[in-house]
Amino acid sequence: MSNKVDVLIIGAGASGLFCAIEAAKRGRSTLVLDHANKAGKKILMSGGGRCNFTNMDVTPQNYLSANPHFVRSALSRYTQWDFIGLVCQHGIAYHERDHGQLFCDDSAKDILNMLLAEVEQAGASIQLKTEITAIEKQEDQFLVRTTQGDYLVQSLVVATGGLSIPTMGATDFGFKIAQQFGHTLVPYRAALVPFTWNTKDKPQWSELSGLSLPITATANNGHSFTLDALITHRGLSGPAMLQISNYWQPGETLTIDWLPAIDINGEIQQARHAQGKKQFKTFLSALMPARLAEHFCAQLNLQKTLAELSKKDVELIQQTLHSWVFVPGGTEGYRTAEVTIGGVDTSKVSSKTLESQLCNGLYFIGEVLDVTGHLGGYNFQWSWSSGWAAGQVV
């Protein structure tokens, strides 16, 4: 005997929980299934444990998708202000960091507990440790077979997220369901992810591990971010590198400006008159971390005073410090990536309801779709907004 539910949501993460709250509030019998032993694991590990749950300034330009307009409807109907209102209603203390990012004062647990309390209050159920073994469409309903029994379902919502952090339960199951019902996938890869050194750069650069400084990272397609970068023994990380990884394709180079706020040529010309005897290395150490300045001087073989620098030296310095060509070995991949870029092609999904245009009653929400936000709370906002939008109609 199959159990009957109006709405079955696969994935008890950010978008699935949010959709469950909205669907259950409308009086729909709602069940969330997850194979993990705990709901919302990624919420708990997000934002360094403090969950960057949204951003003060959310626009469609903060998202990448083959269809850039897709996000507009959901984001405009359930906004960051709506989510902030909910956070305030639950008395959760939060603060704003750079670039409008909002974090919990205390812990990401506050956000998960808020969602679980809302799920309970709305009357939805969550069932964990449940594997879905088969999904069949039967006229106007779905038969969902699981390790905990079978379900006959009117609305089936796929909220299985992306592939990052497989140890937390990430799978490509959502992509497989999409393909089963005729949807295509936009090629996907790890994003918001640190880069690794190529084998040639690794020995010298990994010695500088731990250094952090503001840089501008530019991708071949012209997108650029001026933010902090962190040199690690594996490669280049930090917000600037995570952001630019969304715009980078394997095999491409990146251009790094190590002194984005400074015109190095102008600074040298100014300083050489008054301080011509100063070692270039000492001069450069005032503009960037000393170990990095030493590294560049050694690489460029510039053990010279400012007065001794030739025109060619200055050109080389300018080229190296403002337009350093980084050839990444690759990225750290899904093991440490925050998100998956690409996914279920949105061209056959309604941007208003998130319902499949190929299969009535099937919905896709959250990161499983080809929608990827910038770093800064945008990915969660997409989960809340898309979960909310589907929750109004499932």
Site residues for ligand FDA, window 285-324 (CB under 6 A)?
Answer: none
171 binds ligand FDA (CB under 6 A): yes
How far from chain centre, in Å, is Cα 388? 20
Residue nearer to ligand FDA on the CB measure, 241 or 302: 241
Amino acid letter, 282: T
| CA distances from residue 122 to 98, 144, 365, 366 in whole angstroms, order as listed | 35, 23, 20, 21
Find the shortest distance in angstroms from Cβ 140 to ligand FDA: 24
* Stretch binding ligand FDA (CB under 6 A), from 75-83, 259-267, 350-358, 365-373: 365-373
366 binds ligand FDA (CB under 6 A): yes
* Stretch binding ligand FDA (CB under 6 A), from 6-14, 111-119, 178-186, 244-252: 6-14
* Stretch 211-240: interaction string toward ligand FDA, x if CB under 6 A: ------------------------------
Residue nearer to ligand FDA on the CB measure, 49 or 182: 49
* Stretch binding ligand FDA (CB under 6 A), from 27-35, 113-121, 205-213, 216-224: 27-35
* Stretch binding ligand FDA (CB under 6 A), from 41-49, 57-65, 222-230, 256-264: 41-49
Q: Which of 160, 131, 161, 157 is nearest to 142 (CA)?
A: 157
* Stretch binding ligand FDA (CB under 6 A), from 28-36, 214-222, 230-238, 296-304: 28-36
Interatomic CA distance for residues 236 and 142, integer angstroms: 46
10 binds ligand FDA (CB under 6 A): yes
Contact of 191 with 337, CB cutoff 8 Å? yes
Q: List alpha helices for the chain, DSSP H.
A: 14-25, 41-45, 72-77, 80-89, 109-122, 173-180, 202-206, 239-245, 264-274, 280-285, 290-300, 311-322, 378-391
Q: Is 40 left (phi over 0), alpha (psi -120 to 50) or beta?
A: left
Find the shortest distance in angstroms from Cβ 357 to ligand FDA: 20
86-107: b or e for each residue (b if 16 or more CB lie within 10 Å)? bbeeeebebeeeeeebbbbeee
Find the shortest distance in angstroms from Cβ 380 to ligand FDA: 3
Q: Which of 168, 182, 226, 195 is nearest to 42 (CA)?
A: 168
Residue from 5, 9, 23, 47 in contact with ligand FDA (CB under 6 A)? 47
* Stretch 130-169: interaction string toward ligand FDA, x if CB under 6 A: --x--------------------------xxx--xx---x
Find the shortest distance in angstroms from Cβ 383 to ligand FDA: 4
What is the token pair recorded at 231?
A: 């040199």
Contacts of 261-270 with C-beta under 8 Å, sequence gap 24+, read 261/214, 262/287, 264/317, 264/318, 264/321, 264/322, 265/314, 265/317, 265/318, 268/306, 268/309, 268/314, 268/317
With contacts defined by CB under 6 A, how many residues of the chain interact with ligand FDA? 38
Contact of 334 with 325, CB cutoff 8 Å? no
124 binds ligand FDA (CB under 6 A): no
Which residues, in sequence order, are bridge partners of residue 3? 151
79 binds ligand FDA (CB under 6 A): no
Q: Alpha-carbon Rg of the chain, whole angstroms?
A: 25
173 binds ligand FDA (CB under 6 A): yes
Residue from 8, 20, 31, 42 in contact with ligand FDA (CB under 6 A)? 42
- Tally of CA atoms within 13 A in the half-sphere of 121 that contains its CB: 10
Residue from 14, 158, 288, 371 in contact with ligand FDA (CB under 6 A)? 14
390 binds ligand FDA (CB under 6 A): no
**Site residues (CB under 6 A) for ligand FDA?**
10-16, 33-36, 41-42, 45-47, 51-52, 132, 159-161, 164-165, 169-171, 173, 338-339, 366-368, 377-380, 383
